Each structure stands twice: as C-alpha cells, then as structure tokens.
C-alpha cells in the first residue's frame, strides 16, 4: 500500500512554475469534475499518519471551481516562458532589498561568525552537518525563543530570499483559519487523481496551494503573512538583522497562485522561518528570537512574546502533512527515530537554486527548531536542506543532547565563551 501511494502521487512532488501555469490554463478549458463525497471516518494514508476526524467543510468541487477563477485571473500572467521564470532578482531590485542568488555552491559558511554565547554542542552539530555547503543553519529553543546557534550569520541575518514552498505552511494555516479547507477534504484537479491537505503538504503540490491562494485572496493572505512574521524582524535587538519583505500587491508574475505556491516576490529570512516554526512547535506563541552573547545576558535571559497566534486548533491539522513530508514526502532525508516535522522549499533561477527546510523535533522533553537554507547550484534544493537538518538532529541525539531530566533553561546550557575569530 505504501509503495502504491508513493508511485501514485509521485507526479505531484516537483511541479514547476511552468507545470503550474499549464494546469491553471487547462482549468479554463475543461469542465470541473465533481468528486465523490468523502465518507466521514478514519482516513489512513500510511502507518506514520494519524486517523482523521470528520470531514467536509470545503469540498473538492469548491477547490476546482476556484481553479477556474484562478485561470481567469492569472492566465495571461502565467503564459509564456519568460513569465514562468521565477524573477526574484527583479522583485528585490524593485524595492531595493534582499540578497542575490549569485553564490557558489560550496564555501566555508563559518567565516566571520561570532560564537559568543552559543550552545557549543548545538553549534558543532550544525557546522558538521552543513559541511562544505554554502548556507545557513539556525537552531532555536521553541519554548523560549532563544537562538542556540546561527551558522553563517551574514546569510542568516541578511535581507532574505524567496521562501519557495515553505510558504505553504502559512497558506495552510490561513486557509484552515478561514474555514476554506479541512485537512481531509479531497481536491480533484481535472484528472483521476485527488489529494487532501496532508498529501499536498507532504508532496508539496503547487497547484493545490495556488488554488488555495486564489480562494484566500491577497487581503487575507497579506493579513496572515504579517501576523506570522513576514516582512518584519524576527529578532529582538539583534545587531545586523534585516527584515524580510512581503509584496504590497499580488505578484505581477502569476498573481496569488505563484505567491502561495512558490512565494513569488516574498523575501524570507532564516530567522523569520525559525520564528514561525517556533510558534507551530510550541502551540502558537510567536516569540521574539533572542541571541544572548554574554554569560550575564544568558543568566538574565527572559523570553519575550511578540504575539500569541490563534492557530492552536489548526496546528494539529497541518502536523500530519509536515510529518508526512519527513516520513514519505519531499523531506525523507531528515527521517529518523525521533519525530521530526518540517517543510521543504526549492526555487531555481537559471543554474542557481535555493533550498529551504524549516523543521522541529516533536517528541521527548526537549524540543528543537532547526531551519536550513542552502544556495548555489543543483545540490542546493529543499530535499538536500532536509538532509542537513536531519544530520543536526542525529548528531545531537548521538551526543545524548535530548536526554535531559531537568527542564531546559538558558542558564542550564550556559557554555564557555569562545574567542572571536
């Protein structure tokens, strides 16, 4: 059964901007097929997935109807190969922010880092897991918002990159909060295949989230994006941190469909993604991320709440999809004995790629958020980023980092201050 599901859904794993546009264009010329109503009860997809509750707030026919609307709104914008290229550099240039993707695939990502105040055990695991890759690794304690380590601080604190498919986590929460979808409501896309929110997250289905984006509309997505931390600094008084960016209108390249499936024109920093993952991991508290650098700052550390997010009922609805990504979807390289939940993201511009993975450990007495962003050539993709994060968790587990009997506090993990490089 498991092998059948993997084969059945494999066409959904890597849907490009071109494929997305073709699907939306096709939607305009085909009559929607009304799916059969899904019966209420358990919906078992793999042994790693949880039995579902009753379904049916939003049916597949509603989603397919929105696809027709999507094509009417975005068909012109999504037609032509030039419009299908992800134009991140142009978007950044239009408002003068962000970073370029012109970077090598391999480099020493620790150059210039100041490790004062970091948890050196976590630091070592992150550095060794990243290896020679050009990227940034941010590890956060989701119970306090303390940054335990940040590898490649220049990249981690910079102006941000396109979030790629990691934006789908925010879209899912927004759509659930607005009652536009339920986790087990199937959607059928002008073919014999259908999938629900869990499958769509696990396999990162672009057309599914483009359709949800059209239904949400810009105003609602803009509201939730800023609520979740897009376009603002995630850290509290962290020197050198730049805020990300959220566009003031739907992207010219593909409109809401591209914004909610590829993160078109959005700029996300590793800290912003770490902040959102922290809120999901702890049940809805969006902390200001803090980066104490001295022994005194660590001893006096006090968590600072940025805001409480009303997402607790919906976190359990996206967890199966985020776990599915690791168990059988796009992030299988992060799979291990511990329960890891996450979301990959991959974008490309010419020969240069971006690879994201936002994740958290969801079992045991010590939770942890690990965010990885890679940039460079073909190895810099979401699945590779998930492998880096998985290696961080594995190295820490091998060092018995997660086996603690007392509650974790900043003072309990006070480490010697390393000399500046």
Tokens matching residue 299: 């001893």
Per-domain residue ranges for the chain? 2-413
Tokens matching residue 128: 């060794």
Q: Where are the beta strands (DSSP E) in 135-223?
A: 135-141, 146-151, 187-188, 194-195
Q: Does domain 2-413 have CATH number 3.40.710.10?
A: yes
The DSSP bridge partners found for residue 342 are 359
CA dist 389 and 80 (Å) reads 37
| Rounded mean pLDDT, 188-210 | 85
Residue 374: phi and psi, rounded to 5, are: -115, 145
CA dist 235 and 288 (Å) reads 5
DSSP assigned state of 408: P
The pLDDT score that the predictor gives to residue 418 is 44
Helix axes 17-27, 255-262, angle to 10 degrees: 140
| Rounded mean pLDDT, 108-130 | 98
3-state SS class at 8: helix
pTM: 0.79
3-state SS class at 340: strand
Helix axes 17-27, 60-74, angle to 10 degrees: 100
Tokens matching residue 48: 């790693």
Tokens matching residue 293: 């650098």
The pLDDT score that the predictor gives to residue 404 is 72
317 pLDDT above the threshold of 80: yes
Closest CA to 198 of 12, 61, 361, 337: 12
Angle at the Cα of 142 (from 393 to 382), degrees rounded to 5?
50
Q: What are 39-61's pLDDT values in tens digits?
A: 333 332 333 333 322 222 333 33
Mean of pLDDT over the chain: 80
């Amino acid at each position: 059964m498991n092998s059948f599901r993997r084969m059945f859904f494999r066409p959904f794993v890597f849907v490009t901007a071109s494929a997305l546009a073709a699907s939306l264009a096709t939607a305009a010329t085909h009559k929607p097929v009304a799916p059969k109503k899904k019966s209420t009860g358990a919906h078992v997809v793999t042994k790693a997935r949880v039995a579902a509750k009753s379904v049916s707030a939003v049916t597949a026919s509603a989603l397919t109807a929105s696809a027709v609307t999507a094509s009417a709104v975005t068909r012109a914008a999504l037609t032509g190969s030039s419009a299908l290229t992800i134009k991140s550099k142009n978007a950044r240039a239009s408002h003068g922010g962000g970073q370029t993707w012109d970077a090598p695939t391999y480099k020493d990502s620790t150059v210039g880092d100041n490790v004062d105040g970091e948890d050196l055990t976590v630091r070592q695991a992150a550095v060794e897991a990243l290896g020679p890759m050009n990227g940034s690794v941010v590890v956060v304690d989701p119970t306090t918002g303390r940054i335990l380590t940040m590898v490649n601080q220049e990249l981690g604190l910079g102006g941000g990159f396109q979030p790629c498919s990691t934006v789908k986590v925010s879209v899912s929460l927004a759509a659930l909060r607005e009652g536009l979808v339920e986790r087990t409501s199937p959607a059928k896309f002008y073919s014999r295949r259908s999938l629900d929110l869990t499958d769509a997250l696990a396999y990162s289905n672009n057309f599914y989230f483009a359709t949800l984006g059209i239904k949400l509309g810009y105003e609602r997505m803009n509201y939730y994006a800023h609520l979740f931390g897009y376009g603002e600094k995630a850290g509290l008084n962290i020197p050198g941190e730049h805020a990300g960016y959220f566009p003031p209108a739907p992207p010219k390249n593909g409109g809401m469909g591209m914004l909610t499936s590829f993160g078109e024109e959005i700029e996300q920093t590793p800290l912003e993604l770490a902040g959102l993952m922290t809120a999901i991991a702890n049940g809805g508290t969006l902390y200001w991320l803090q980066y104490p650098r001295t022994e005194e700052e660590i001893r006096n550390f006090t968590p600072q709440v940025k805001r409480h997010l009303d997402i607790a009922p919906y976190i359990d609805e996206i967890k199966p999809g985020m776990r599915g990504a690791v168990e059988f979807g796009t992030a299988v390289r992060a799979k291990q004995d511990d329960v890891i939940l996450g979301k990959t993201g991959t974008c490309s511009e010419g020969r240069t790629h971006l690879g994201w993975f936002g994740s958290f450990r969801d079992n045991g007495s010590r939770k942890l958020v690990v965010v990885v962003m890679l940039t460079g050539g073909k190895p810099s993709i979401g699945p590779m980023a998930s492998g880096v994060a998985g290696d961080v968790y594995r190295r820490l587990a091998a060092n018995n980092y997660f086996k603690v009997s007392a509650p974790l506090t900043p003072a309990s993990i006070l480490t010697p201050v390393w000399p500046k490089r």
